[in-house]
Amino acid sequence: MSMRQMELEVMRYDPEQDDEPHFQSYSVPCEDDWAILDALNYVKENIDTTLAYRWSCHMMVCGSCGMMVNGEPSLTCKTFIRDLPDKVRIEPLENFPIERDLVVVLDDVMEKLRMAKPFIIRHDEPPPEDQEYTQSRAALYKFKQYTMCVNCMCCYAACPQYALDSSFIGPAVLALAHRYNIDSRDQGKSERLDLLADHDGVWECSFVGACSEVCPKSVDPAAAVQQMKIDGAKEWWKQKLGGGKS
Amino acid sequence: MEKITADVVIVGAGGAGLRAAIAIAESDPDLDVALISKVYPMRSHTCAAEGGAAGVKGADDSLENHFHDTVSGGDWLCDQEVVEYFVNQAPRELVQLEHWGCPWSREDDGSVAVRPFGGMKKKRTWYAADKSGFHILHTLFQTSLQFPTIKRFDEYFALELLHKNGKCRGVVAMEMRSGRFFSFQSSVVIMATGGGGQCFPFTTNGAIKTGDGMAMAYRAGVPLKDMEFVQYHPTGLPGTGILLTEGCRGEGGILVNKDGRRYLQDYGMGPETPVGEPVLKTMELGPRDRLSQAFWHEQKKGNTVETPWGDCVLLDMRHLGEKKINERLPLVRELASSYVGHDPVTDPVPVRPVIHFMMGGIDSNLNGETPMPGLFAIGETACSGLHGANRLGSNSLTDLLVSGRRSAERAAEYARKAGEIPEDPAMTAQSEDVVTAIRELLQQSGGGESIAGIRREMKSTLEEGAGIYRDEEGTLKACEKIAELRGRYGKIEVHDKSNVFNTDLQQALELRNLLDIAETVAEASLERRESRGAHQRLDHVERDDEHFLKHSLAYRQPDGRPRIDWLDVTITRSKPGVRDYSGGKSE
Amino acid sequence: MSRQPYVRPVSKTTWYMRNGRYRKYMLREVTCLLVGVYCFLTIWALAALAAGADTWNGFLASQQNTVMVVFHAFALVYFLIYQAFDWFKLAPKAMPVQLGEKKLPDRYIIIAHYVAWAFVSLFVFWLTGVI
Ligand SMILES: Cc1cc2nc3c(=O)[nH]c(=O)nc-3n(C[C@H](O)[C@H](O)[C@H](O)COP(=O)(O)OP(=O)(O)OC[C@H]3O[C@@H](n4cnc5c(N)ncnc54)[C@H](O)[C@@H]3O)c2cc1C
């Protein structure tokens, strides 16, 4: 396997030392098949043990290693150096406060997850303990895509609406609410609608579509949000026309 | 240092920890739960599980079958009352997950689908495409968000157990973002910290799987059980060690050597079955230990394929066709294409055995109780005796649920009995000691040893001395070497002095944990002079029920080295017999 | 000293210069200016119509100088790119169609929009006597 010398320009910030972030360059001998995460691990092991970043699974499912790679929100374990120039700039995810180096503060979105009520809500009795709900494959495929979110937060880093006003609930959480709304086992749509159709919910989205473009798992949160808008509008008309809540 | 009290402290928010937390919150809203995790819950390594979770489903299967598959798969080192309870509870727990919204794959009639898995006589592995663990973890995490009594402490690194008069009294942890220390005081701690595959060089286990819980319990005087049993998964991607699930073979994928021969038939798993029509418990659906051992022999014979990442065999799935691969194994396709450049639709994929799962762990029982009152252990960090000498694929995810709920019931009961936690200066002092030791580690310099260096040496030592095949000389050398590394650890230097998200310090602490458990793996491998399940000795090739139908127990001695003791296996219904993977041909 | 999360400033006025994606979005959004101009033109036209044939002819003449022709041509192309093409491309997101276990491929939904558009245009041409 052949090697390639890469230059990583990494944003550093240690609140105990620095007033603001700065860049540090590392020259890293990379194997052809490496991902950016491998290059960072090389730095951590061999050049500078103080570099702080999150990572775990190295197989695109744990969602820890989201960062800006050349300005693009990316999951660094699936961003390969073969697709990049020799010089790469790595920054912490945009739109989040920087805790330290490449580690960002995620409190806000973690708190918002709760607002989506991301669990099955039933008004009817659940079926007996030893029996599953039946669900056709068609019904499963309707929401399956929205279950694939790894919470890497790349969509939040891409969303200009969130950048300008972080009270916006944001792509991943809205997509998660939608996922439960359209799950045939769930009956909690009206509970979620109230919250999400309000001020900071779906109507804050101006459909830039950046969230879907950067999503490493093809979840397409922008689609979920637009569908929720349509749902919300339908619901509104129904109420106006005296249909009441569904 | 800040003190936090809780009725129950759970360390670990993977599948096991979350299931336990939900069970407590559901059953008793008066108990507060402190759920501590060194990563956000959904980053826990349960997310990496691909294949599925086993539980009897369908009229042609029975609990009896699942019981026997598990016990024989574990080479009779399983505690049979634990297996019995497990197979009984498994279906109920998997249905419960369905009610919570897990997107299980479905049959035509809308019922949950099951797939075949290695060592299982019937199809009974519930799956959500090839992201079963991911969906289980997210379902549990999301479900947990509705319970106000579960208080999460995300990105808190647990350091050491607190205990007094032999009883567990809590745990000390460090908040990563601030470097502040917290003394969690409670009469009940449930350890759910997952496995420790990171003590080997080549593993499917994520960076966070560093055996912290095992090491904490071990240092607190609790024995680690069956540590010599470490499972190799036969189909990891070379280079990265990323797993290609057993589901690949369950769906019909085959393993071939450089001559295109399905070599498993040469290792007692034949006769050859038709391509694309997998037969349960035969050939590619044999158990993991046997398949990994077959690779070792093929490599010795020079039958493996050379690749830029070393010797491999080939996993051929081309005959499954693009549609089936996309529907059932989409992640596998993405992983193989991205990381080794082979699309399973068009190319056979190079694979090799890779460290995957630790059967051993904190000595626990059916209820998750450990020898230390108040300390419970569940999930991969525990060894309840369920998996024996070799875990069957897809039994582990189910175990997280079964052991999670069961231990929660017991822990809640224990907490209620224990009542209020009294103010105890001794616990505060113990906590201070832990912090002092860490401050000292952070200060020390000039020793000349590096964390990465010692870690590398430890990993290669274990692979050489305690890999797929072992012998007296090799394991002995490994024991010596790891004891030496433990000594040299005292001379490492943590270069990062910051309080904020100090991952250099975290890695140092994890390395210490890894060294502790690595030593128990090596030492128990040395002492078990027989071959059983995942533990194969070149110098003792037979199973020896007379001397070794026993669990090993590793106790930490004052000098830091482990002492190995033995504990009888509970046998209720199934007497040790022959493990048969010839599709019943030899019966 | 300890935590002190650093918040990177976001400019309220120039944020869209951050990347190409945002700039493209802004180009789409500024179609609203053209929409505004057309609203104005429509009102003007209606007023002219109501005021009688002379005023109406004056209005028509005012649209026939080079500047206005260039403006109309520009608006047409701009609308085509940033309203029609762009919105139609996004339509499948808002209105996915699932047929049993399969999702109808996006391109069919997009094509359906063009077809509908063509029909509406023809109808308008017919109404106005162009065809
Ligand atoms: C790639 C892969 C595929 C697998 N596929 C399957 C499969 O198909 N079927 C199956 O049955 N099994 C499978 N397994 C095994 C199974 O996934 C694991 O055994 C199981 O998920 C472990 O769950 P857990 O809850 O015990 O631990 P984990 O999910 O690993 O969680 C551990 C938790 O403990 C926390 N923790 C650890 N140390 C500390 C500390 N010091 N302080 C604070 N918190 C800490 C972590 O933050 C985490 O939350 C697979 C394993 C791997 C690696």
Domain that holds residue A115: 107-240
Q: pLDDT band at C107, cuts 50/70/90? A: very high
Relative to beta strand B224-225, strand B310-316 is unpaired
- What value does the mean pLDDT of chain A take? 94
Decide if A99 touches C, using CB distance below 8 A. Answer: yes
Question: What percent of chain B has pLDDT above 90?
Answer: 94
**Minimal C-alpha gap between A216 and chain B (Å):** 12
Q: Average pLDDT in the B242-260 region? A: 95
Ligand 1 centroid to A20 CA: how many Å? Answer: 37
Our measurement of the distance from residue B437's CA atom to the centroid of its chain's CA atoms, rounded to an integer in Å, reads 29
CA nearest neighbour of B268 among B246, B248, B297: B297
Q: Are residues A23 and A95 in the same domain?
A: yes
Confidence class of residue B585 from pLDDT cuts 50, 70 and 90? Answer: low
Where do the domains of chain C lie? 15-89, 95-131
Q: What is the pLDDT of residue B583?
A: 64
Domain count, chain A: 2
pLDDT the model gives residue B411? 98
B461 Cβ inside 6 Å of ligand 1:
no
- Specify the pLDDT at position B510: 98
Stretch B516-536: mean pLDDT: 98
Q: Beta-carbon neighbour count of residue A130 at 10 Å?
A: 9
Question: Could you give the count of Cα atoms lying within 13 Å of B148 in the half-sphere of its Cβ?
Answer: 2
Pocket test for ligand 1, best of B193, B203, B237, B376 (most atoms within 8 A of CB): B193
Which H or E run includes B238? none
**pLDDT score recorded for residue C82:** 84
- Distances in whole angstroms, Cα of residue A152 to Cα of each of A55, A83, A93, B215, B461: 11, 21, 10, 30, 35
> A16–B498: do the CB atoms touch at under 8 Å?
yes
Asked if residue B449 has pLDDT above 70, the reply is: yes
In ligand 1, which atom is closest to the CA atom of B194? 27
Q: pLDDT-based confidence at C44, cuts 50/70/90?
A: very high
Distance A55 CA to ligand 1 centre (A): 15
**Within this chain, do residues A221 and A119 fall inside the same structural domain, yes or no?**
yes
* CATH for A28: 3.10.20.30
| Residue ending a domain, choose from A104, A131, A166 | A104
Task: Indicate the residue among A44, A77, A104 that finishes a domain.
Answer: A104
B354-412 pLDDT, tens per residue? Answer: 999 999 999 999 999 999 999 999 999 999 999 999 999 999 999 999 999 999 999 99
Question: d(Cα A205, Cα B298) in Å, to the nearest integer?
Answer: 58
| pLDDT number for residue B404 | 98
- Flag whether pLDDT at B164 surpasses 90: yes
DSSP notation for B498-511: -SSS-HHHHHHHHH
| Burial class, B518, CB count within 10 angstroms (exposed 0-12 / middle 13-18 / buried 19+) | buried
H or E element in which residue B479 lies: helix B472-489
Mean pLDDT of B325-339: 94
Which among B37, B38, B88, B106 is the top mutation candidate for probing chain A, defined by the most A β-carbons within 10 Å of its own β-carbon?
B106
Asked whether residue A246 is assigned to any structural domain, the reply reads no
Reported as a pLDDT band with limits 50, 70 and 90, residue A245 is very low
Neighbours of chain A (3+ CB pairs under 8 A): B, C
Quick check: B245 pLDDT over 70? yes
Residues A18 and A120 both lie in one domain: no
Identify whether A132 is part of a domain: yes
Architecture of the domain whose range is C15-89: Up-down Bundle (1.20)
B196 ligand 1 Cβ < 6 A: no
Task: Choose between B328 and C131: higher pLDDT.
Answer: B328
Q: Residue B499 is nearest to which of A16, A118, A120, comparing CB atoms? A: A16
Does A70 contact chain C (CB < 8 Å)? Answer: no
Distance CA B195, CA B548 (A): 24
* A26 plus A121 within the same structural domain: no
What are the catalytic residues of B? 233, 249
Q: Encode pLDDT of A212-226 as tens digits.
A: 999 999 999 999 999
Specify whether A100 is located in the same domain as A111: no
Q: pTM for this one? A: 0.96
Sorted by sequence, the CB contacts under 8 Å of residue B149 that are 6+ apart come out as: B24, B25, B29, B31, B32, B33
User: Based on the domain organization, do A100 and A60 belong to the same domain?
Assistant: yes
Which of C8, C97, C103, C109 has the highest number of chain A CBs within 10 A, making it the mutation to test binding with A?
C8
Q: Are residues A20 and A135 in the same domain?
A: no
Query: Is the CA virtual torsion B242, B243, B249, B252 positive or negative?
Result: negative
Span from the CA of B346 to the centroid of ligand 1 (angstroms): 32
Q: Which residue has the tokens 């660094």?
A: A76
Q: What's residue C1's pLDDT?
A: 56
Do A224 and A111 lie in one domain? The reply is: yes
Q: Tell me the chain A residues in contact with residue C7 when contact means C-beta distances shorter than 8 Å.
A: 97-98
Do A232 and A137 lie in one domain? The reply is: yes
Boundary-marking domain end, from A70, A104, A138: A104
Q: Which residues of A touch B134 (CB under 8 A)?
A: 61, 150
Same domain, A78 and A195: no
Answer whether residue A72 shows pLDDT above 90: yes
Q: Are residues A139 and A219 in the same domain?
A: yes
User: At B159, phi and psi to the nearest 5?
Assistant: -110, -50
A228 and A111 co-located in one domain: yes
- Closest by CA to B475, choosing from B531, B521, B544, B514, is B521
Q: What is the mean pLDDT of residues B496-523?
A: 98
- Inform me whether the C-beta atom of residue A97 falls under 8 Å from chain C C-beta atoms: yes
Considering only residues 144 to 203 of chain A, which have any Cβ-Cβ distance to chain C shorter than 8 Å? 158, 160, 163-164
Burial of C65 (0-12, 13-18, 19+ CB in 10 A): exposed
**Does residue A245 lie within any of the structural domains?**
no
Between the CA of B360 and the centroid of ligand 1 the distance, in Å, is 14
Residue A97 lies in a domain: yes
Q: Are A101 and B124 in contact (CB under 8 A)?
A: no
Mean pLDDT of chain C: 91
Query: Is the pLDDT reported for residue B256 higher than 50?
Result: yes
- A78, A134, A144: residue with CB nearest B103: A144
Strands (E), A78-203: 87-91, 98-100, 103-104
